[in-house]
Amino acid sequence: EVQLVESGGGLVQAGGSLRLSCAASGFTFDDYAIGWFRQAPGKELEGVSCIRSNHERTYYADSVKGRFTSSSDSAKNMIYLQMDNLKPEDTAVYYCSVVQTPFFCSETLLGTFRVWGQGTQVTVSS
């Protein structure tokens, strides 16, 4: 059974940085795509990033491109999201997710994710 547990959220001022972590278990990293999603109050779930363990053809939403970097460490069963130059509009609950797939990351692939962690709150003050 796939299990995902996020941590690392918190309150940060605009322009600051946070690193989210996701402890993962129950799957083989090589067979899965890894995603980060977020949901702000009153808004729909948004796909933020998608990577594979070989880091080929990563995907980032335009809203975070150049500021967020996702990575994974299969030896430690960990997934990370480094968030720099944070903006108030980045405020949301952030979720990590995985999907077993042979395909490269893309915006389309983000629509196929179905397994989620419990989320971690990120609040960016102006």
* pLDDT for 47: 97
Mean pLDDT to the nearest integer, 3-20: 98
Query: What is the percent of the chain where pLDDT is above 90?
Result: 94
Q: Where are the beta strands (DSSP E) in the chain?
A: 3-7, 10-13, 18-25, 32-39, 46-52, 59-60, 68-73, 78-83, 92-100, 115-116, 120-125
Work out the pLDDT band at 53, boundaries 50, 70, 90. confident
**Is residue 46's pLDDT more than 90?**
yes
CA distance 89 to 5: 24
**Is residue 56's pLDDT more than 90?**
no
3-state secondary structure string, 102-124?
A: CCCCCHHHHCCCCEECCCEEEEE
The pair phi, psi for residue 108, each rounded to 5°, is: -65, -40
The end-to-end CA distance of the chain, in Å, is: 40
Mean pLDDT to the nearest integer, 59-74: 96
Q: Which tens digits make up the pLDDT trace of 67-121?
A: 999 999 999 999 999 999 999 999 999 999 999 999 999 999 999 998 889 999 9
Work out the pLDDT band at 55, boundaries 50, 70, 90. confident
C-alpha 107 chain-centroid distance = 13
